[in-house]
Structures are given as structure tokens and as C-alpha cells.
Amino acid sequence: MIVAIDQNICTGCRECAEVCPAFAIEGDQGKPQTINTDRCVMCGQCVQKCKSYVSILTHGKEAYEKVKKERNIPDSVTEPLFAAYPVCNLDKVKAALADPNKFTVVQCAPAVRVAIGEDFGDELGKLTPGKLAAALRRIGFDRIYDTNFPADVTIMEEGTELVKRVTEGGVLPMFTSCCPAWVKYMENNYPEIKDHLSTAKSPQQIGGAIFKTFGAEIDGKTGADIYSVSVMPCTCKAFECERPEMKDSGYRDVDVAITTRDLAWLIKDLGIDWASLPEEEFDQPFGIYTGAGTIFGVTGGVMEAALRTGYELVTGQPIPNVDVTPVRGTEGFRKAVIKIGDLELKVGVVTGLKNVAPVIEAMKAGTLDLHFIEVMTCPEGCVSGGGQPKLLMDADRAEAYAARREATFVHDRELPLRKSHESPAVKKLYDEFLEEPNSHLAHHLLHTSYCIK
């Protein structure tokens, strides 16, 4: 179980069904809803939308504590618990941190740093990478790494793969593969198009594979010593890291994924005062990242990051304008033509999984002339993920997403490096370990094929 609906709490308002992009929620109005697990993609949008809850004040301490225990939620939590909820893996994280034989490594996705402060009273969208690193260090992790780094590596692998497909006659259009809910949707509904999916793993999984191989070597450890934790805005990441194929490091690449909300609970549970935390850095070398890695958190960001590097891969020249605004946006399906030397690269961005079926059908009908398509399941990409801080009022949702999105682009603009291939950490990885993008070792560790139903 990654996402579930508590039949004892659900009031049957069916607001969750309205936002489910996979049409997986079933039930009559006014009656408890169920999730069709054959259709569910575990995106957690139902979790964000749900308004039926149990609380101490309304239902009493005994009923509340019973639900909290069933979900493995820390004893210190006192907030309302909603009918739609994701798995909580904090017990596994705590056990690993307490085990002296485990070398604990944590990575944080780009969207976490523009949202977690909201659970501590910060204004919507406040950018907090320094406090985030400081909090993780005080929790007790041995290494504090950043998913923005493997996001940069993803661009090197996926960008190289795209250039090869375009120039050497590969399967086109190529779809991005970093959103696990989108991958699951494709497997459930369109397995025949699997060859159109990029073979590059998501940043979470690429990070996990690197941390248990090259990272382990740097620290004088083996992959068996490493316990790898990821903090994600996405509920489906817990499913992704458990996929049977995600073990190319020789071990489970990522041992456990927790959400932004889970991390906020853990920080509070350990008595860490968020407001007084200093600004600290992520650990090196896997804490270095560029603006391209940062914008993975917003819809269109993966596409823009790929174009910043892809332009130089094809032409040998820096992209004239690093801000690729034609692929930015917040809704529906948008297309753009990007001039890269003599090549006119035709790209598309799908925002929200409900918009992907017409795109796939057009592709299958031969009426879609594109080279590269980004798909993000959640309404505005990872900043609006199912594991982000819960917004109780619908009116707050648009404001929060806009603030998180803007903070992401501000962070991108302020970073000294804004293209993945310029990262010294990425260069070190390839110079000392992988040799080059799409090398034999890179393919073994950082690419995959999925278990189609």
C-alpha cells in the first residue's frame, strides 16, 4: 500500500475522484470510496484534496491514536489525519539511523526546499535549502546529499540519449521517464509505447545508484554499508524505489523514500527548532548542483534543463538564452520548436496526467510531429506533488503552487551555474568513474527497462 483511503473516515464527498488523473477512485456519492489498484498511479493528488478527517478534538484521543498507530505516524503528531493518506516510512528511517552498522545517506528533491518551510509557519514558497541541509544533519544522517545533483546527471544521460535518437534514427518521440506515476500510467494503459520512454532512470534512482557505487568508494564503504533515504514531494517515489529492477548498484538503489510532510514530522518529533536553524551546505561532491537540476521541480523544467545542455551537445556552442521560456507554463499541453543549429527540435510538455491520453493517441495515429515530450503527473509538476505540505483550503492551492514555482526559478537565476554539463561534480563523476554519458557503465547503473504488465 502506497496510497489508501480509510473507509472509516471517508465521507464519500468524491472530491478525490475529481482530481484523480487515472480515474482510479470508485464509489457512490456519500459512501466511502475505494482505490482501484489496477488503475492507481500513486500520485497522491487524492491525499492533497481529501477533506474528511479524524482529530483529537472532534473524535477523541482514543480514536485518533488508533489511526495514528495504524499508519506508523510519530507519537508527537497532533494534526488532523485524513481519509486519503500515503504510506509513512519514518519507522524504517529511524531504525536505520539507530543502527551503528548502517552508513545513512539522504538526498532531497528540488521541490522540497520550496515547500517544507510551510509546515513550520513560513510563507508559501519560501526557499530553504540551507535550513533543510542543517535539519538533516541534526537528524543524524552521515551524508547530506541533494537530488539536484543526480538531476544534472539525468540531463547528461537523457540529453545524450535524445541526441542519438534524433541524429541516428531512434524511436521518436522520446518521452521523459523521471515521473514514476507517469511511467506507471503508461504501463497500465499504453504498454505498447514503452520503447518511446527514455531509458534513463529518475534522479532519485540515479542518485541511489551513484551513492552506493562511486559514493561508497569515496567514503571507503561498500554498497552493503549504505542505507539510502530520499526525501521527495511525490508519494509514488516510495513505489519507484521498491521496483524490482531498481538494483543495478548490486543492492536496492534507494532503500526508502519519505515525503516532504514526513520529513517535517520527523524534524518536529526530534525536537529540532526549524526557526533557529543556521544556513548550512549539502555535503560534497554530491551536494553541488546547477539551475538546470533545480528546475526539475516545475512542469517544463526537465525539458528546459535538457535543452540548455542539448543545444551545446549538438552545436558545440552555449545556448544563446539559457531561459528557454517557450517550454514554460502551468497547464495543458504546449508545443514549441527550438532551433538548435541546423536542427529544428520539436518538443512538447504535458502538464497534468489527465492531458496525456490525447497526446498518446495522436502519436499512435501518426498526427503528432514531435521529437521530445515531457510528462509530469501532478498539476504543476513536483511543486504540487502528493507528498508536499497539505493545503486545507482550495483557495490556497493556486497561490502556493505559484509561490513554489517562482521560488524555484529565483533559485535557478541566482545559482552561479545553470547548465548541467557545467557542474564540477558531474565532470568529476564522469572523469573518475563513468567515463562519458551513455557509456557501458552508465547504461548499466543509470538506465533501465520497466516491468511492463
Catalytic residues: 158, 161, 178, 198, 237, 240, 245, 382
- pLDDT of 135 strictly over 60: yes
- Cβ count within 10 A of residue 162: 28
Among 186, 420, 197, 198, which Cα is nearest to 301's? 420
Segment 141-175, tens digit of pLDDT: 999 999 999 999 999 999 999 999 999 999 999 99
Which pLDDT band, with edges at 50, 70 and 90, does 451 fall under?
Answer: low
pLDDT score recorded for residue 137: 98
**DSSP letter assigned to residue 316:** S
The CA distances from residue 102 to 105, 140, 144, 224, 256, in Å, are: 9, 12, 15, 9, 14
Q: Which amino acid is at 321?
A: N
- Residue 99: how many CA atoms within 13 Å on its side-chain side? 13
Mean pLDDT of the chain: 96
Segment 62-79, tens digit of pLDDT: 999 999 999 999 999 999
H or E element that contains 206: helix 203-211
State the residue for C-alpha cell 540529453.
159
Q: Which amino acid is at 226?
A: I
Contact (CB, 8 A) for 202 and 374:
no
Among 184, 200, 153, 181, which Cα is nearest to 384's? 181
Contact (CB, 8 A) for 322 and 308:
yes
pLDDT score recorded for residue 57: 85
- pLDDT of 453 strictly over 60: no
Task: Report the alpha-carbon distance of residue 112 to residue 132 in Å, rounded.
Answer: 9
Q: Which amino acid is at 199?
A: T
Which pLDDT band, with edges at 50, 70 and 90, does 213 fall under?
Answer: very high
Contact (CB, 8 A) for 209 and 249:
yes
Phi and psi at 24, nearest 5°, equal -100, -10
pLDDT score recorded for residue 392: 83
Work out whether the CA dihedral 326, 329, 335, 340 comes out positive or negative: positive
Task: Report the alpha-carbon distance of residue 156 to residue 447 in Å, rounded.
Answer: 12
Task: Report the alpha-carbon distance of residue 207 to residue 129 in Å, rounded.
Answer: 18
Q: Which amino acid is at 397?
A: R
- Cβ count within 10 A of residue 419: 22
- Cβ count within 10 A of residue 256: 21
Domains and CATH numbers, the chain: 1-86 (3.30.70.20)
Rg of the chain's alpha carbons, rounded to an integer?
Answer: 21
Average pLDDT over residues 95-124: 98
Among 175, 406, 203, which Cα is nearest to 298's? 406
Contact (CB, 8 A) for 352 and 43:
no
Global pTM reads: 0.97
State the residue for C-alpha cell 497526446.
359
Residues of 215-249 as b/e, b for ≥16 C-beta within 10 angstroms?
A: bbebeebebebbbbbbbbbbbbbbbbbebeebbbb
Task: Report the alpha-carbon distance of residue 236 to residue 87 in Å, rounded.
Answer: 10
DSSP string of 352-403, one letter each residue:
SGGGHHHHHHHHHHT----SEEEEESSBTBGGG-TTSPP-SSHHHHHHHHHH
Q: Which amino acid is at 66?
A: K
Segment 405-436, tens digit of pLDDT: 999 999 999 999 999 999 999 999 999 999 99
Contact (CB, 8 A) for 233 and 259:
yes
Percentage of the chain exceeding pLDDT 70: 99
pLDDT score recorded for residue 23: 97
Task: Report the alpha-carbon distance of residue 276 to residue 260 in Å, rounded.
Answer: 19
Average pLDDT over residues 330-339: 94
pLDDT score recorded for residue 331: 83
Burial of 333 (0-12, 13-18, 19+ CB in 10 A): middle
Percentage of the chain exceeding pLDDT 90: 96
Segment 8-48, tens digit of pLDDT: 999 999 999 999 999 999 999 999 999 999 999 999 999 99
Residues of 361-375 as b/e, b for ≥16 C-beta within 10 angstroms?
A: eebeeeebebbbbbb
Which pLDDT band, with edges at 50, 70 and 90, does 52 fall under?
Answer: very high
Segment 244-256, tens digit of pLDDT: 999 999 999 999 9
Residues of 50-77 as b/e, b for ≥16 C-beta within 10 angstroms?
A: bebbbbbeebeeebbeebbeeeebbeeb
- pLDDT of 306 strictly over 90: yes
H or E element that contains 226: strand 226-232
- pLDDT of 53 strictly over 80: yes
Burial of 335 (0-12, 13-18, 19+ CB in 10 A): middle
Task: Report the alpha-carbon distance of residue 124 to residue 403 in Å, rounded.
Answer: 6
Cell of 136: 538533516
Cell of 322: 539559457
Work out whether the CA dihedral 229, 247, 91, 98 comes out positive or negative: negative
